């Protein structure tokens, strides 16, 4: 396996991240629902580290806690996006600021 970690996030956030990158990020596992995690474990367990970008509230927080207790390979990376509730909200705000700064 070429990379050492796998990122888990939402598809729309993944696409926004790629807008301004010269080289695309690789090794993303997009989970549309938290229930898909159990099905994805066969793939996830092949990585020594998995970065989680789940929602920072409600079910996302509960599931992050559950997943992190399964194995130390799972790292919660939502905290860098405070005060936003999730990665998507942070990216939307950043895109809005960039559009506003660019002017009409």
pLDDT reading at 11 higher than 70: no
8: Cβ–Cβ under 8 A, 6 or more apart, which residues? 28, 29, 30, 31, 44, 50, 51, 52, 53, 54
- Residue 34 is predicted with a pLDDT of 81
Contact 10, 56 (CB under 8 A): no
Range of the domain at 29: 5-102
Q: What percent of the chain has pLDDT over 70?
A: 73
Q: What CATH number is associated with residue 37? A: 3.40.50
pLDDT, tens digit (0-9, with 9 covering 90-100), for 49-81: 888 877 777 888 888 889 899 999 888 877 667
Q: What average pLDDT does range 35-61 have in this prediction?
A: 83
Number of structural domains (the chain) is 1
What is the chain's length?
Answer: 104
Instruction: State if pTM tops 0.75.
Output: no
Q: Which of 49, 53, 62 is nearest to 81 (CA)?
A: 53
Q: What is the C-alpha separation between 90 and 9, in angstroms, rounded? A: 13
């Amino acid at each position: 396996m070429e990379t050492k970690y796998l990122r888990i996030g939402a598809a729309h956030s993944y696409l926004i991240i790629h807008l301004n990158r010269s080289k695309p990020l690789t090794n993303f596992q997009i989970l549309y629902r938290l229930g898909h995690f159990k099905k994805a474990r066969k793939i996830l367990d092949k990585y020594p580290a998995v970065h989680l970008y789940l929602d920072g509230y409600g079910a996302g927080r509960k599931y992050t806690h559950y997943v992190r207790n399964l194995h130390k390979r799972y790292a919660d990376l939502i905290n860098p996006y405070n005060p936003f509730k999730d990665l998507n909200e942070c990216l939307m705000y950043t895109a809005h600021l960039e559009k506003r700064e660019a002017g009409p």
